[in-house]
Amino acid sequence: MSATGPKKAGLWSYIASAFTFRWNLLFFGGAMAAALLLPSPDIIMPMLVAAELAYLGMLSSNPRFQSAIDAKVHASGRETTEGPPVPAQVDAQRKLQELLASLENQRRNRFVQLRARCVEMQRIADAVRGDTNDASGAVADLRTPALDRLLWMFLRLLLSQQAVERFLRATDVKALEYSLNNLKQKHTAAVAKNDERIIRSVTDAMATAQMRMENFEKARGNLEFITLELDRIEQKIHALTEMAVSQQDPDQLTIQVDAVAEGMAQTEATIRELQAITGLGADVDSTPRILGGDLTQSMTQGVVRQ
């Protein structure tokens, strides 16, 4: 895969990201509000504005911060990092809740536990950086979109695995094999009698039975692939989140997470191929926010309901 790195977001995106970062908004807004209560706000407020401009200039020109913003833009596929959810994002959040509700308890718990592990590793990484060079945890926030993509793919694979297993359980393969062998015998007898009507009927029935057998074998192969992919992606997510604790260069880790998320073309193709039985339509391309705190309650409700 190409190592050119994420595309450049641009100066205004850097400045906007620096200004709208939650801690900056909290401190700057709080300081301005406090200044209004002081005896000389006309002196203090210009000083606060000057300090804010200096902060924006320093942070937006920092190469490490720029790389983190570039990676976030590359992962999310858009130039802005803040703003109200667009309709596609709202629909993705709805799909997330629907998928969680449709999963069997064991699979839902597996997903919730994996997500909880990611959140815990991010907290540990934030604590470690608090003693080094990133007390704000901003870089961890900027890795979130790519991790969300991996978790979203993991969740859809769980649904695909569940749907394929149900299909296989509902298919009596022994009865199919018996029917196919019986039709072959009838075909042989019809050929011996030279009865064209029976030959055509039995031939068509044989083709249908053979097609069903092939579908069953393909589903069995898909299930094996999905099971292996679930284990592989789960281990990848564990490895990437654990690397966040010891990684010396947060920007490189951001690029690695994004590269893993980009390298799942075969997995995505399998998920799309199984849309007919999973119920996942073409409108699931938008990735929902999974690691965001606002989803914690809706995700844990699935465990409580079991």
Tokens 């564990």 belong to 238
Which pLDDT band holds residue 132 (cuts at 50, 70, 90)? very low
Between 12 and 305, residue with greater pLDDT: 12
pLDDT at position 82 over 70? no
| Residue 293 within a domain | yes
Tens-place pLDDT, residues 153-181: 899 899 989 999 999 999 898 999 999 99
Can you give the pLDDT at residue 188? 92
Quick one: 91 and 13 in the same domain?
Answer: no
Between 181 and 52, residue with greater pLDDT: 181
Domain span at residue 242 reads: 87-171+214-304
pLDDT at position 294 over 80? no
Quick one: 130 and 52 in the same domain?
Answer: no
| Residue 179 within a domain | no
- Mean pLDDT computed over 57-81: 64
Task: Answer whether 0.85 is exceeded by the pTM.
Answer: no
Residue 132, token pair as written in the block:
């080094």
- List for the chain the helix, strand, coil content (%; round to 5): 80, 0, 20
Total domains in the fold of the chain: 2
Quick one: 13 and 94 in the same domain?
Answer: no
Contacts by 32-37, CB closer than 8 A, 24 or more apart: none
Quick one: 35 and 115 in the same domain?
Answer: no
Tens-place pLDDT, residues 234-252: 988 888 787 766 665 555 6
Helix (H) or strand (E) holding 179: helix 173-193
- Mean pLDDT computed over 60-79: 65
Return d(Cα 52, Cα 19) in angstroms, integer: 9
Can you give the pLDDT at residue 203? 93
| Residue 35 within a domain | yes
- End position of a domain, from candidates 83, 113, 147: 83
